[in-house]
Structure 1
Amino acid sequence: MAALPHLGASDVATSRRVLVTHPGAELYGSDRMVLESVQGLLEDGWTVTVALPGEGPLTALLAAAGADCRTVPTPVLRKSAATPRGLISLAASVLRTAPAAWRLLRAERPAAVYVSTLTTPLWLLLAKTARVPVICHVHEAEGNARPLVRLVLTAPLLLADRILVNSRYALDVLLSSVPSLRTRSSVVLNGVRGPEASPVPRPRRSEESLQLVYVGRLSERKGVFVALDAFERLVLSGQDVELTLVGDVFGEHVEVAEQLEQRLAAPAIAGRVHRSGFSIGIWDHLAAADVVLVPSVLPEPFGNTAVEGVLAGRPVVASALGGLPEAVAGVASAQLVEPGSASALADAVLAVSSDLDRFSQCAIRDAQDAVFRFSPQRYRRDIAGSVSDLTGIFHTDTADHVSGAFGTASVADLAEGRP
């Protein structure tokens, strides 16, 4: 491919137009966050085009919000890029996909490019080449990866003019690889949309089973097998419990799917574990639970699922690693346990079960506090403000009222902590 000329001053629009890029079109953690980011930009008066590698459930929601969605295949930076073969494969993918991405960039002539996640460095390179201000929102924190792998994943951020990260833990991981990024980086906690109605304790008859729920990817790193091991321990100890798995196995992980089926067929837990598959509407699942399990075995940069459990007014048991302690900081109904320990997870569930009324009432109070700490409106304003600061283009006619968890609140109400 021929060298890419930069977009000159006459090519770069001064209108309020931003190009947003994201590496997927599903509705897991970072997917939901890019939807909130786009909504924040639209509410602030920006015209938004979103580049996605393909179509999925996220596409329709972005379009409904008012964004113009375009399909642009983009290579994803993975840990394998730290090997010679992986680096060659990535370079080949970049050469193959860069022309289409460059054509979109030239056609849109955005005032800024907002790159969601650090896994698509091609957009950072193209924006820098085009001399368009670029902001990267980091949702990853591979704290357990080898130093070389972390460096490969982090180094492309040197091309970004501004960096947002979703937790202090994620920021620490980033700076451990490239300390010079500190001056251009800041923490923006995720905005997590809660249920429409204020949560209440789950009505439960004395003879009912204790209901546990796991929400998220059915993967080893998310700890689904630890959850199943803990659940089996509870059953074998005579506890009357049931477990619901809300989520799917990543399509490419055939071996994980087979291993999961074998595990679910174990005599002790067969028939006691319910699989609902991926669900956009998680609140009904959380409302039907007594305890939310977040048993990640590798560091989470933030922990949306833990926050959603808190917002649902349910006791949460989460792994004490990565950004999960930040996500449940100050939450009295949450417990942190040793990562990968089925016995610790089971013991924490037993602690809730033995004092369920107290934990449940405490969780309802925690939910009210979490509404304001993780307000989507605060998050949207932070994102829009970061793009405006980067470009020097501001808008003063943002709507006074925005929809929030548990109803609608004005900007002034949110700022003063009123529901």
Structure 2
Amino acid sequence: MTAGSRPPGSEGGQDGRAAVVLVAHPGAELYGSDRVMLETVLGLRAAGRRVVVTVPVDGPLLDDLAAAGAQVVRTRTVVLRKSALRPSGLPRLVADVLVGAVQGWSLLRRVRPDVVYVSTVTVPLWALLARLRRLPVLWHVHEAEGSQPAVVQRLLAAPLLLATGVVANSRYSVEVLRRSARRVAARVSVVHNGVPGPADPAPARAEVDGSLRLVYVGRLSARKGVDVAVEAVAALRDAGDDVELDLVGAVFPGYEWFEQGLRDRARELGVGDAVRFRGFHPSVWPFLAEADVVLVPSVVDEPFGNTAVEAVLAARPLVVSATSGLLEAADGYVSAQQVPPGDPAALADAVRRVRKEWEQRRQDALADAAVARERHAPEHYRRRMVEAVDGVAGRRA
């Protein structure tokens, strides 16, 4: 455990002690929901709350949480990923339930939180344990599996009935909930993600001489459409367009086969030298600063789209799939082009338009960055999340 200090003015919890928020999170990386949870913790700490974060694994997020003044505790729990729901994953799932219940119950007894904040739908055990201890639960929905079968959607949404309050990251996420859990959707508050970005982003280069530099930032997975981006690069180069693509991100452990497939496909298409695998980096801003165009080519539902917002904050033209929460994330930005998901030709055409209209696209992106800084200001997000936590903290089961 890494101890965080108690700031002045943090009284207000049980028995006159510091108000305590237990944050339950499924991982310790630095992708979208991880960074959003960190923003929530920063807001709670600034508001004088004592914060204890429990995660089942180690990772780079933990250092940032400790720096924010949170206590960090490794606790085993169930994380609802596809691999856990396969027959081969059943023994591990059962073990996670049993061991997680014992460890979780013990942690709740030690910490004595005033409220439990469950940061994604993938760690439902924490809500159950909290309610058994008659503790209020704020659940933050970052998922929107609208393309899944109805029965899967209902199963994922059912545990949310345990929540005292629910926050979602987009209107699209609420709409997906409405199809499967109307009682939950009726009381959800929408809080768009706070996304910190550069205070004064450098404009894109004045002229595109040589290769047009494309970048993809995020998890390397089939649902993110990384393969579509590779196919689009091949189409552009076959037509004589000088482009190169940086892929900034990594696969989930156990999915290394997907990255190898991307590498193989790039070589088959003759663009192995034009597609560079940069791996995971804690800060994406240097890569965005070097880029000319940002691609967000997801082919499956996205609840929101932090990477799209980051592109706009970096003042770079954006090409984004016209689907689900990405429509919400890119809404109103002149520099963002929306293309059909899963269509390499459409993605390639949008990239060509950026090069053809470079000066206008460059200026539009710079203007959009100012809008995004206000719309997704971390301080606004943090304030709203503190209000949401405080709104349920006094309600007991």
Q: Secondary structure at the match of 1:18?
A: strand
Amino acid at match of 1:362: D
Q: Tell me if structure 1 keeps the 8 A contact 2:308–2:329.
A: yes
Counterpart pick for 1:326 among 324, 328, 345:
328
| Structure-2 separation of matches of 1:172 and 1:11 | 36
The alignment status of 1:173 with 2:173, answered yes or no, reads no
Q: Which segment is superposed worse, 39-48 or 383-392?
A: 383-392
| Structure-1 separation of matches of 2:288 and 2:148 | 32
| Structure-2 separation of matches of 1:103 and 1:82 | 26
385 and 11 in structure 1: CA distance in 2 versus 1, 3 angstrom threshold: closer
Q: Offset of 1:284 from its aligned partner? A: 1.1
Residue 255 (structure 1) aligns with: 257
386 and 253 in structure 1: CA distance in 2 versus 1, 3 angstrom threshold: same
Residue 50 (structure 2) aligns with: 47
Q: Offset of 1:233 from its aligned partner? A: 0.3
In the TM superposition, 1:95-244 aligns within 5 A as 95-195=98-198, 197-244=199-246
Residue 372 (structure 2) aligns with: 370
Q: Secondary structure at the match of 2:23?
A: strand
Q: Tell me if structure 1 keeps the 8 A contact 2:316–2:362.
A: yes
Q: Tell me if structure 2 keeps the 8 A contact 1:161–1:184.
A: no
Q: Which segment is superposed worse, 10-19 or 92-101?
A: 10-19
Normalising to structure 2: TM-score of the pair?
0.92
Q: Deviations over 1:121-169 (max 9, x none)?
A: 1001000000000011010000000011111111000000101100000
Residue 390 (structure 1) aligns with: 392
| Structure-2 separation of matches of 1:133 and 1:316 | 40
Counterpart pick for 2:79 among 59, 76, 95:
76
Q: Tell me if structure 2 keeps the 8 A contact 1:19–1:110.
A: yes
Residue 19 (structure 2) aligns with: 16
Q: Tell me if structure 2 keeps the 8 A contact 1:136–1:162.
A: yes
* Unaligned runs of at least 5 residues, structure 2: 1-12
| Structure-2 separation of matches of 1:54 and 1:119 | 14
Residue 338 (structure 1) aligns with: 340
270 and 78 in structure 1: CA distance in 2 versus 1, 3 angstrom threshold: closer
Q: Tell me if structure 2 keeps the 8 A contact 1:169–1:301.
A: yes
Q: Secondary structure at the match of 1:331?
A: coil
13 and 320 in structure 1: CA distance in 2 versus 1, 3 angstrom threshold: farther
Q: Tell me if structure 2 keeps the 8 A contact 1:79–1:149.
A: no
Q: Offset of 1:320 from its aligned partner? A: 0.7
Q: Deviations over 1:70-101 (max 9, x none)?
A: 00011112357778887786444212221011
Residue 403 (structure 1) aligns with: none
| Structure-2 separation of matches of 1:386 and 1:267 | 50
Q: Offset of 1:54 from its aligned partner? A: 1.4
Q: Secondary structure at the match of 1:323?
A: helix
Amino acid at match of 1:315: P
Q: Offset of 1:201 from its aligned partner? A: 2.2
272 and 121 in structure 1: CA distance in 2 versus 1, 3 angstrom threshold: same
Q: Secondary structure at the match of 2:323?
A: coil
| Structure-2 separation of matches of 1:239 and 1:157 | 49
190 and 392 in structure 1: CA distance in 2 versus 1, 3 angstrom threshold: same
Q: Offset of 1:14 from its aligned partner? A: 6.2
| Structure-2 separation of matches of 1:65 and 1:193 | 15
Q: Offset of 1:264 from its aligned partner? A: 2.7
Q: Offset of 1:390 from its aligned partner? A: 1.1
Q: Offset of 1:350 from its aligned partner? A: 0.7
| Structure-1 separation of matches of 2:15 and 2:155 | 30
Give the number of equivalent residue pairs. Answer: 383
| Structure-2 separation of matches of 1:118 and 1:208 | 45
CA root-mean-square deviation: 2.0
Residue 277 (structure 2) aligns with: 275
Residue 8 (structure 2) aligns with: none
